[in-house]
Structure 1
Amino acid sequence: MSWLTRIRKSLPFRPKRETPDNLWVKCPNCSEMLFTREYEENLSVCPRCDHHGRIGADTRLAQVLDEGFTLLDAPRVKEDPLKFKDSKRYTDRLKQARANSPHPDAFTVASGSIEGRKAVVGVQDFSFMGGSMGMAVGEAFVTGAQRALDERCGYIVVTAAGGARMQEGILSLMQMPKATVMTRRLREAGLPYIVILTDPTTGGVTASYAMLGDIHIAEPGALIGFAGQRVIQDTIRESLPEGFQRAEYLHKHGMVDMVVERKDIRKTLARLLDYLQPAAAA
């Protein structure tokens, strides 16, 4: 045994302190390391660069609705109607997604109030198979719209999706006209339908209920579009402008009514509900 080893073993080293894995979070935009608690207290918005991070359905509902809201039961639909399989079976992908989520699919609906104004809120969760729109998402959207019709109140939908769910083929695309019909019924009933576009909102969701609202609100920096930038650029054979398909660009060009920071969403919704349905607020 060398003298260095003997000395090292004789020193009273303290045991190495263990650091929790979730103590820090890295901002996906500026790469700044942030305390997780500080980040969450700031509504998952980076205090350094104001990047609005992606959040789950339960967190979003708690931020938008007053305390005491009620989750609506998830609708039952036929799973794996096409017996789809790629590198994995569709049923296995659903099991994996549900193991990491408290909800059975990507769209969750709750009934409650926003600063005292009655409202139904539907939230799309990108962490569940990219928020993809399948039959369960379409049926949940319809359920939320029907509840708003029954309660004579506004319907607010928070979108976050990569598009239609390919594992359900044409059946997923049929959710687009189904949702469109419900937005028409809300309009005929004189009930507000407000859409909050979050990062990312793309594909068939953008081509249907995401762009049929009476008012369209976007979170800062949110990616919003139908086809991807590379597809568009290759098609038109031109370079796209800086910030293309981002919330601020769409607001400047009239596709989005307002860009609102997450901390101001609730009070903005309350003001809009007062304006769009004043009788209900009285």
Structure 2
Amino acid sequence: MNWITNYVRPKISSLLAPRETPENLWIKCPETGEMVFHKDLEANQQVIPSSGHHMRITAKERLRFFMDEGAYESVELPKVPLDPLKFRDERRYTDRLKDSRAKTGLEDAVLVALGAIEALPIVAAVQDFSFMGGSLGMAAGEAIVTAAEKAVEHHRPLVLFAGSGGARMQEGILSLMQLPRTTVAVEMVKEAGLPYIVVLTNPTTGGVTASYAMLGDVHIAEPGALIGFAGPRVIEQTIREKLPEGFQRSEYLMEHGMVDLVVHRHELKGTIARLLKVLLHREGAAGAVGEVGPLGEPEALRPEAAE
């Protein structure tokens, strides 16, 4: 055994070798350019502390922040054909799916879970934008339908977090068929007399906006979220006019009656719990409704409106 070869040389090599530093230790605020330490951002539910900008979060993070004690039970979802159209553009559709599954740890863009908020049992469905832009395909459609069926089966309210770029083009007409299917599923929940609350996150666009994302009993949006069918750039090119400042953003849509509430991520759990108690006629809910939040509330839900 050579001491210099086996010990000294590797030790010197390790000291001289370039050290790898993780690239995601600091996150840049898209609004102000401020650099925020990643652990501080996570502790603040992925909201930039100084600017209040709401960063995108994964479906699993969303459920962890939203459910009581971060505990929830994932619902097993039906399997669907992986590549019914044998679609290929620059890459095979199956390869894109494989990469997204490895990246997110999800089978597809929607995660369905059973849990509780403020001890109130609910069914939650969450779209994850990091899975192929949260696009709506057959698997995501099946997940929404399953969430509705679970809500009816367990007689629980359904809370849906929408975040999507629209229908999944790799599945063609099969993805578009999810619009009427999910619409029927939502009607099933309403016919059972159960509340359906929709939270619109950044972005919510395309076929999702044209179906289940706009059928809620109450529509809540996170601050600054882009919400609409076509994007603002497409609209500007079509009508050849400059759009108003903040067009299609949460605050603009609330002012024009398309969204009921704009609620900070920290307040979502408490706000939705109070709304559900009112809609379910739970005891002690009426006095708490006025605390829905400073960013706005539907007049019909204010205590004085019931008098």
Is the TM value for this pair above 0.5? yes
2:231 aligned partner: 228
Alignment map for 1:36-115 (pairs within 5 Å): 36-67=38-69, 68-115=71-118
1:242 aligned partner: 245
Cα deviation for residue 279 of structure 1 reads: 5.0
1:278 aligned partner: 281
1:163 aligned partner: 166
Higher relative contact order (CA 8 A, sep 6+): 1
Question: Structure 1 residues 63 and 280 mapped into 2: Cα distance closer, same or farther (>3 Å)?
Answer: farther
Q: How many residues align?
A: 270
Q: Equivalents in 1 of 2:239, 2:18: separation in Å? A: 58
> Structure 1 residue aligned with 2:135, among 110, 132, 136?
132
Superposed CA RMSD in Å reads: 1.8
The answer to whether the 8 Å contact 1:216/1:256 transfers is yes
**Letter in structure 1 aligned against 2:90:** S
Cα deviation for residue 278 of structure 1 reads: 2.1
Cα deviation for residue 115 of structure 1 reads: 0.6
Question: Structure 1 residues 16 and 193 mapped into 2: Cα distance closer, same or farther (>3 Å)?
Answer: same
> Structure 2 residue aligned with 1:21, among 15, 20, 23?
23
Cα deviation for residue 28 of structure 1 reads: 2.0
The answer to whether the 8 Å contact 1:117/1:281 transfers is no
Q: Deviations over 1:79-123 (max 9, x none)?
A: 110000111110010011111011110000000111100100000
Q: Equivalents in 1 of 2:37, 2:230: separation in Å? A: 35
1:259 maps to 2:262:
yes
The answer to whether the 8 Å contact 1:120/1:153 transfers is yes
Report the more deviating stretch, 233-242 or 15-24. Answer: 15-24
The answer to whether the 8 Å contact 1:107/1:140 transfers is yes
Q: Structure 1 stretches of 5 or more lacking a match?
A: 1-12
> Structure 2 residue aligned with 1:207, among 202, 207, 210?
210
Cα deviation for residue 253 of structure 1 reads: 0.2
Report the more deviating stretch, 213-222 or 28-37. Answer: 28-37
Q: Deviations over 1:38-74 (max 9, x none)?
A: 1111110011211000000100001111133100013
Cα deviation for residue 271 of structure 1 reads: 0.2
Q: Structure 2 stretches of 5 or more lacking a match?
A: 1-14, 286-307
Cα deviation for residue 179 of structure 1 reads: 0.5
Identity of aligned residues (%): 59
**Letter in structure 1 aligned against 2:94:** T
**SS of structure 1 residue aligned to 2:202:** strand
TM-score between both structures, scaled by the size of structure 2: 0.84
Cα deviation for residue 218 of structure 1 reads: 0.2
